[in-house]
Amino acid sequence: MGQFLTRWIGVLCFQFLCSATFSQMTLFGDVYIAPQNELHIASGQLYFESGKIITDRGLNSGTLSFARKASWKRANHDTHVDGFVRFYDANEFTFPVGHDNVLQPLQLIDFKGSDHFDISYHHVPHPVNQTEEGIAALSQTQFWKLRNPQGSGRVILSWNVFSNIDRLLGSAPSPQKALELITIGGFNGQKWEAIESERVEETANTLVEGYVQSKKPVDFSKYTAFTLMMRNIPAIGTRIKCTGNEYYWRT
Residue 98, domain member (yes or no): no
User: Which of 13-17, 152-156, 228-232, 247-251 shows the lowest mean pLDDT across its residues?
Assistant: 13-17
Helix (H/G/I), strand (E/B), else coil: 136 = strand
Average pLDDT over every residue of 28-45: 94
Shared domain for 21 and 135, answered yes or no, is no
For residue 239, the model assigns a pLDDT of 55
The number of domains in the chain is 2
Domain match, 159 and 120 both: yes
Mean pLDDT of 148-165: 96
For residue 240, the model assigns a pLDDT of 53
**Whole-prediction pTM:** 0.86
Residues 22 and 82 in one domain: yes
Measured in degrees and rounded to the nearest 5, phi and psi for residue 142 equal: -155, 160
Q: Is residue 201 part of a domain?
A: yes
Domain boundary among 35, 60, 90: 90
Contact 147, 116 (CB under 8 A): no
Range of the domain at 42: 1-90
**Which three-class secondary structure state does DSSP give residue 12?**
helix
Secondary element (H or E) of residue 246:
strand 245-248
Please give the Cα distance from 34 to 54 (Å, whole number).
9
**Average pLDDT estimate for 223-233:** 96
pLDDT at residue 243, rounded to an integer: 42
What is the mean predicted confidence (pLDDT) over 17-35? 76
Same domain, 31 and 119: no
Contact predicate 147/121, CB 8 Å = no
* 237, 119: one domain: yes
CA–CA distance, 226 with 164 (Å, rounded to integer): 16
Answer for the pair 78, 50: CB distance below 8 angstroms, yes or no: yes
How confident is the prediction for the chain on average, in pLDDT?
A: 87
Q: What is the mean pLDDT of residues 52-76?
A: 94
- Please report whether residue 107 resides in a domain: no
Per-residue model confidence (pLDDT) at position 191: 98
Q: Residue 6: is its pLDDT beyond 80?
A: no
Q: What is the pLDDT of residue 176?
A: 84
**In this structure, are 158 and 58 located in the same domain?**
no
Whether the predicted pLDDT of 24 surpasses 60: yes
